[in-house]
Amino acid sequence: MNIKIIRSIHLYSGCFLMPLIVFFMITGLLQTFNLHRPKKDGNYKPWAVVESVSQVHKRQRYETDSFSPPSSRIFQILIVIMTIGLLINLIMGIILAFKFGHAWVVWISLVLGILVPVVVLWLPWLHKSTG
């Protein structure tokens, strides 16, 4: 495939996918730190919008106190399209990195991108004590 075509597809599909990807990044971050749920001791209550967008992330629906629709099959299909599009864009980005960057820097970045999360997850002394 022509590199100009790859760059164009990467550019415009990335712009199309970016808002949904950022949405899932933000809602995933909120869930990582359990900011979408109230604390059992009652000293934290999330904003209603945080609870609602968390439902979009987890159940593909925008739920409020007064409105609880079923999961959206169309939104689920959009998420599948976003996931496939993101994967294709990542592959095109790596192709472009090899084409326009230094191959050894690309390889080191890819290897570190795999090793750093694995090391952080597996090293017990880096984990917070749940004691």
Confidence of residue 131 (pLDDT cuts 50, 70, 90): very low
Q: Residue 126: pLDDT above 80?
A: no
pTM score over 0.85: no
State the DSSP H helix or E strand holding residue 16, giving kind and residue range, or none if neither: helix 3-32
First-to-last alpha carbon distance for the chain, in angstroms, is 55
Tell me the torsion sign for CA atoms 64, 75, 70, 32.
Answer: negative
Phi, psi of 39 (to 5 degrees): -75, 150
Residues 84 and 19: beta-carbon distance below 8 Å: no
